[in-house]
Amino acid sequence: MTSQIIPVEAFDYVVFGGTGDLAERKLIPALFRRYADGQILAQSRIIGAARGEMDHEEYRSFARNALKTHIKEAELDADKINAFMEMLFYCSIDAKSDKGWPELKSILGDEDRVRAYYLAVGPAIFGDIADRLHSNGLIRERSRLVIEKPIGKDLASAHALNEVVGKHFREDQIFRIDHYLGKETVQNLMALRFANTLFQPVWNASYIDHVQITVAEDLGVEGRGNYYDTSGAIRDMVQNHLLQLLCLVAMEPPASTDANAVRDEKLKVLRSLKPIDAESVDAKTVRGQYKAGAAKGNPVPAYLDEVDDKQSDTETFVAIKAEIETWRWAGVPFYLRTGKRLSSRVSEIIVQFKPVPHNIFGDDAKSIKANRLIIRLQPDEGVKQGITIKDPGPGGMRLREVDLDMSFAENFDVHAPDAYERLLLDVIRGNQTLFMRRDEVEAAWKWIDPLIAGWADTNQKTAKYTAGTWGPTSSIALIERDGRTWHDGEA
Ligand code: BG6
């Protein structure tokens, strides 16, 4: 099945941090893929901007290597690579001085096209770059700014960062990336909920027992230990990715897919989260940190061996029982769980329905299971709806659960694009639906801040777990206390 590719208008993408890790692993490969698919016109330009000295040709070889390393050989067509290289330029620039700014201005020229400034750099220099873009006259009506998490480390610093970029860019020019929103299955969650009549009537506390959101990684901190050590799983994953997923599951139907219609609904969810503070933090959260263990059969080191601070108590795992105080969700816990060095890499949302109100099948129905909807983000993207049927054949009314299984890879002959492919072009299209609005980011911190403060006030230490397991046993107790169990990605 092929869909029609509509190219976006010719644009200029300026990537600050153009020689960094994000540009190499994600941005350049994503732009190449979209180009190779015919979605980017050859007149477009991608300008890497960074402090190092390099000419355009050297930047092109950097990009060639990025493609070779991060894209499968079968997708690498030599002619397309050569043509893509023609679109790449480099500008050596310093965020903190005037160096390079006139050169950037002359590369950009005067044509009225969409200009996207992607800040793939640390937040400490967001303000310097925005100021210099402004003072050099580089911000125009059709200019956009793209920033990545971490957007602050608490409400105050997020607010300050938003102020700094908001000084020169209007909110409708600012694209705050949460790459989880660009994942194919996350968008499918919207389709599932709002393009089917089936789910909407039962999508509430009368029919849903609880929701689980798990984002498990088998990797450790992979050389990012010192950044991660200042952040931990709560800031790195929960404040953004997990809360965004929770919002998409819990929000009321927006009136349209218009960016503000969707973001208004997500914001209401964030503002309805029941606060977790020093009083409730022990009962509702678990922090963990991995010890040495094994991953895919090989020994792997402890977290503390991967960071400088050998006394660090930063959490690499967190589990939370979140509650949403609305009519729709009263009494329906949302169990969130994320961690590094867990048993496998799996991200999924489980919507667990309530059991049938009355069992008419008597003893034969021992195996009657409450319905369960599994939305698998990765790997093996897809949706599974568990339903109970009669076991075929003679032998009485035996019941069993089967899955209505919609594995995307098996059912559709298309490769699921990387989240960045979608998001980078949404910036050019000016579509902010899959980006976080300022008030959403700040509302998320408003809920996270007291939780983190609660950990400090109660001196809640991390529970150590062996790398390659499902996290500390206390996280199992967190859900089992409520008579429920984690779905450990076995289906
Ligand atoms: C990033 C986090 O935002 O998301 C990383 O900073 C994490 O720590 C990554 O590994 C996970 O993303 P994905 O797409 O691989 O699930």
Give the pLDDT score at 490. Answer: 52
Q: State the DSSP string of 356-403.
A: PSS-SSGGGGTT----EEEEEEESS-EEEEEEEEEPSSSSSS-EEEEE
Nearest CA to ligand 1 atom 8: 236
Nearest CA to ligand 1 atom 5: 236
Tokens 């020169």 sit on residue: 168
For residue 345, the ligand 1 atom closest to its alpha carbon is 16
Nearest CA to ligand 1 atom 6: 236
Nearest CA to ligand 1 atom 10: 217
For residue 148 and ligand 1, the question of a CB distance below 6 A is answered with: no
- Cβ atoms within 10 Å, residue 404: 10
The pLDDT tens digits along the chain (491 residues) read: 456 788 999 999 999 999 999 999 999 999 999 999 999 999 999 999 999 999 999 999 999 999 999 999 988 999 999 999 999 999 999 999 999 999 999 999 999 999 999 999 999 999 999 999 999 999 999 999 999 988 999 999 999 999 999 999 999 999 999 999 999 888 889 999 999 999 999 999 999 999 999 999 999 998 888 889 999 999 999 999 999 999 999 999 999 999 999 999 999 999 999 999 999 999 999 999 999 999 988 999 999 999 999 999 999 999 999 999 999 999 999 999 999 999 999 999 999 999 998 888 887 666 688 999 999 998 888 899 999 988 888 877 888 889 988 877 666 766 678 899 999 999 999 999 999 999 999 999 999 999 999 999 999 999 999 999 999 999 999 999 999 999 975 54
For residue 449 and ligand 1, the question of a CB distance below 6 A is answered with: no
For residue 183, the ligand 1 atom closest to its alpha carbon is 14
Residue 388 φ then ψ, to 5° = -100, 130
Q: Which residues of 89-101 are buried (b: 16+ CB within 10 A; e: fewer)?
A: bbbbbebeeeebb
For residue 381 and ligand 1, the question of a CB distance below 6 A is answered with: no
For residue 418 and ligand 1, the question of a CB distance below 6 A is answered with: no
Give the pLDDT score at 269. Answer: 98
For residue 217 and ligand 1, the question of a CB distance below 6 A is answered with: yes
Give the pLDDT score at 378. Answer: 87
Give the pLDDT score at 415. Answer: 67
| Domains parsed from the chain with CATH numbers | 11-148 (3.40.50.720), 181-417+437-480 (3.30.360.10)
For residue 221, the ligand 1 atom closest to its alpha carbon is 8
- Determine the length of the chain: 491
Nearest CA to ligand 1 atom 13: 180
pTM given for the model: 0.95
Give the pLDDT score at 393. Answer: 85
H helical segments located in 15-154: 21-22, 28-36, 56-70, 78-85, 101-108, 126-135
* Strands of 285-291's sheet in order across: 399-407, 382-390, 372-378, 346-353, 208-216, 334-339, 317-322, 285-291, 463-466
Give the pLDDT score at 249. Answer: 98
For residue 209 and ligand 1, the question of a CB distance below 6 A is answered with: no
Give the pLDDT score at 364. Answer: 66
For residue 236 and ligand 1, the question of a CB distance below 6 A is answered with: yes
Rg (CA), the chain: 24
Nearest CA to ligand 1 atom 4: 237
Give the pLDDT score at 489. Answer: 56
Tokens of 218: 């088998």
H helical segments located in 126-258: 126-135, 155-166, 184-194, 225-228, 232-233, 243-250
Nearest CA to ligand 1 atom 2: 236
* Ligand 1 centroid, distance to 433 Cα (angstroms): 21
- Which strand (E) or helix (H) includes residue 343? none
**Nearest residue to 284 (alpha-carbon basis) of 448, 480, 478, 481:** 478
* Ligand 1 centroid, distance to 222 Cα (angstroms): 11
What residues are labeled active site?
A: 241
Whether residue 40 contacts residue 431, with contact meaning beta carbons closer than 8 Å, is answered with no
* Ligand 1 centroid, distance to 171 Cα (angstroms): 25
Tokens of 30: 């994503």
* Ligand 1 centroid, distance to 313 Cα (angstroms): 20
- Cβ atoms within 10 Å, residue 305: 12
Q: State the DSSP string of 237-257.
A: IIIIIIHHHHHHHHSPPPSSS
- Rounded Cα distance between 59 and 74, Å, is 23
* Ligand 1 centroid, distance to 99 Cα (angstroms): 33
Q: State the DSSP string of 274-323.
A: PP--TTTHHHHEEEEEEESEEETTEEE--GGGTSS-TT----SEEEEEE-
- Which strand (E) or helix (H) includes residue 353? strand 346-353
- Which strand (E) or helix (H) includes residue 39? none
For residue 215, the ligand 1 atom closest to its alpha carbon is 16
- Rounded Cα distance between 151 and 159, Å, is 9
Q: Label residue 18 exposed, middle or buried (CB < 10 Å: 0-12, 13-18, 19+).
A: buried
- Rounded Cα distance between 130 and 168, Å, is 7
Give the pLDDT score at 3. Answer: 63
Residue 146 φ then ψ, to 5° = -115, 125
- Rounded Cα distance between 58 and 155, Å, is 41
Give the pLDDT score at 1. Answer: 45
* Ligand 1 centroid, distance to 416 Cα (angstroms): 17
* Ligand 1 centroid, distance to 178 Cα (angstroms): 10
Q: Label residue 7 exposed, middle or buried (CB < 10 Å: 0-12, 13-18, 19+).
A: middle
Give the pLDDT score at 491. Answer: 40
* Ligand 1 centroid, distance to 179 Cα (angstroms): 8
Q: Label residue 191 exposed, middle or buried (CB < 10 Å: 0-12, 13-18, 19+).
A: exposed
Among 25, 221, 231, 241, which residue has the most ligand 1 atoms within 8 Å of its CB, making it the best to mutate? Answer: 241
Whether residue 306 contacts residue 479, with contact meaning beta carbons closer than 8 Å, is answered with no
Among 26, 237, 290, which residue has the most ligand 1 atoms within 8 Å of its CB, making it the best to mutate? Answer: 237
For residue 348 and ligand 1, the question of a CB distance below 6 A is answered with: no
Torsion (CA) 21, 25, 31, 35 in degrees, nearest 10: 140
